[in-house]
Amino acid sequence: MKTESDRIASMPDYPFARWGEKVRAARATGIDVIRLDIGNPDLPPPDEVIAALRSSARDPGTHGYPGYRGLPALREAIAAYYDRRFGVELDPTTEVVPLLGSKEGIVHLSLGILDPGDLVLVPDPGYPSYTMGAVIAGARVHKFPLLPERGFLPDLDAIPADIAHEATMIWLNYPNNPTAGTADLEFFTAAVEFARKHDILLCHDVPYCEVTYDGYIPPSLLQVPGAKEVAVEFNSLSKTYNMAGWRAGMAGGNRDALKSLFRVKSNIDSGMFLPVQEAAIRALSVPHDWIEARNAIYQARRKIALDGLTALGWEVPASRATLYLWARIPEGHDSEGFATKLLNEAGVSVAPGSFFGQGGEGYVRISLTAPDERIAEAMDRLDGLFKQG
């Protein structure tokens, strides 16, 4: 009896699922693990968002199938957010698709656009789903480097012309996971021109656009004039409103690409739970003061981690956005081996940079999604570990 396709047999386990097993094994031995490996917000959503969910869930009429396209009010709220935040106009009917979190949309767009053998351009290091979406669709992947000397921005002109000409899709992600690099409108303008020149669908993932520090305000790629002709942008409520487990996201931009995405989704899922849609509508109108207060908490945690890591002599830039610090590890270690050492010997779990591709080797990603006292304790444990060493 066949129980696995050749495509799935050649696919690695999702790295964070595998790492979660290591964490569970460490805890089973009695280790008190401080998890700084995943970008899983530990703070709650705004009170009014929880209240909207509770109120809607009490309505007997909200527990049936929710419809495939999402409530018109949700699509309108997404469009209103883009207009208010970025000055970008999106047609709620044709240029917005609500998602069950942006991750599923990333993979489903690949299924909707790519044919077996198509070529996808993917950043290295980069979020694993960009590559896995292509692999599931039977496409090929060409990785382009994100280098520290360029602020982790790619040199698009360095992509070989024959590769660029053959490509169907390219992925970008700023503010960047895992490097915390940032991009400006000048770079996005060049990216749009690159996509137009080579007839490539440009896909931008921007879930960290509201997790920022020191007054930094990230742009949307869709702010570039004409971007909607060649681009789709993914966004999420997971990090912006601490709603990671709620699975609420969005895609906006090119209506033809979104039509393909919707066709896949309507054959695979049955839409977002109506109370979550009602809560998402409420979240998208939360005053920015709430976001600023939440970011101040992350910024304080960033200082604790930066101070501790700098005292160890680690090379760690101060990120302007995202939940992460991207730390170069001491020489003589590989990323996963080093992260395993920290887990087993200090009870501190960080993400191996190699989980994000070969370009992440030599780094670990450190998340700020733990209370101040736990991050401080993690820094003390690392200090003790390396002083002993």
Q: Give the CATH number for residue 316.
A: 3.90.1150.10
Q: How many domains does the chain have?
A: 2
Domain end among 242, 267, 283: 283
Q: Is residue 163 a part of any domain in this protein?
A: yes
Q: Calculate mean pLDDT across residues 324-337.
A: 93
123 and 225 share one domain: yes
Say yes or no: 104 and 220 in one domain.
yes
211 plus 73 within the same structural domain: yes
Q: Are residues 234 and 379 in the same domain?
A: no
Assign 181 a pLDDT band (cuts: 50, 70, 90).
very high
Please, what's the b/e burial string for 63-100 (b: 16 or more CB within 10 A of its CB; e: otherwise)?
A: eeebeebbbeebbbbbbebbeebbebebebeebbbbbb
Mean pLDDT value across residues 235-252: 95
The reply to whether 85 and 183 lie within a common domain is yes
Q: What is the mean pLDDT of residues 146-152?
A: 95
| Model confidence at 389: pLDDT above 70 | no
What does each C-alpha distance from 220 to 128, 255, 368 come to in angstroms? 22, 17, 24
Q: Which two tokens stand for residue 324?
A: 């992460």
In a domain, 123, yes or no: yes
pLDDT surpassing 80 at residue 309:
yes
Query: Looking at the domain assignment, is residue 1 inside a domain?
Result: no
Q: Which CATH number belongs to the domain containing residue 59 in this structure?
A: 3.40.640.10
Q: Are residues 316 and 181 in the same domain?
A: no
What average pLDDT score do residues 197-204 get? 98
Regarding whether 209 and 168 lie in a shared domain, the answer is yes
Report the chain's mean pLDDT, rounded to a whole number.
Answer: 95
Please identify, among 215, 249, 283, the residue that sits at the C-terminal boundary of a domain: 283
Distance in angstroms (rounded) separating the CA atoms of residues 127 and 274: 29
Give, for 344, the enclosing helix (H) or strand (E).
helix 335-346
Q: One-letter amino acid identity for 12?
A: P
| Residue 232 resides in a domain | yes
Are 146 and 217 in the same domain?
Answer: yes
Domain boundaries, position 208: 47-283
Confidence band for 301, pLDDT divided at 50, 70 and 90: very high
Say which range, 247-251, 287-291, 383-387, has the weakest mean pLDDT: 383-387
Q: What average pLDDT does the segment 73-92 reach?
A: 97
Among 264, 283, 302, the domain boundary falls at: 283
CA 70 to chain centre: 22
Asked if 249 contacts 98 with a C-beta cutoff of 8 angstroms, the reply is yes
What is this structure's pTM? 0.94
Query: Are residues 183 and 128 part of one domain?
Result: yes
pLDDT tens-digit profile of 246-276?
A: 999 999 999 999 999 999 999 999 899 999 9
Helix (H, G, I), strand (E, B) or coil at 119: strand
Q: How far apart are CA 66 and CA 69, in angstroms?
A: 9
CA torsion, ordered 164, 170, 171, 172, to nearest 10 deg: 60
Q: What is the pLDDT of residues 1-10, one digit of tens each?
A: 987 787 777 7
Flag whether 189 is in a domain.
Answer: yes
Q: Say if 168 falls within a structural domain.
A: yes
Q: Do 23 and 95 belong together in one domain? A: no
**R_g of the chain, CA atoms, integer Å:** 21
- Does position 177 have pLDDT exceeding 60, yes or no? yes
C-beta separation of 192 from 227 below 8 A: yes
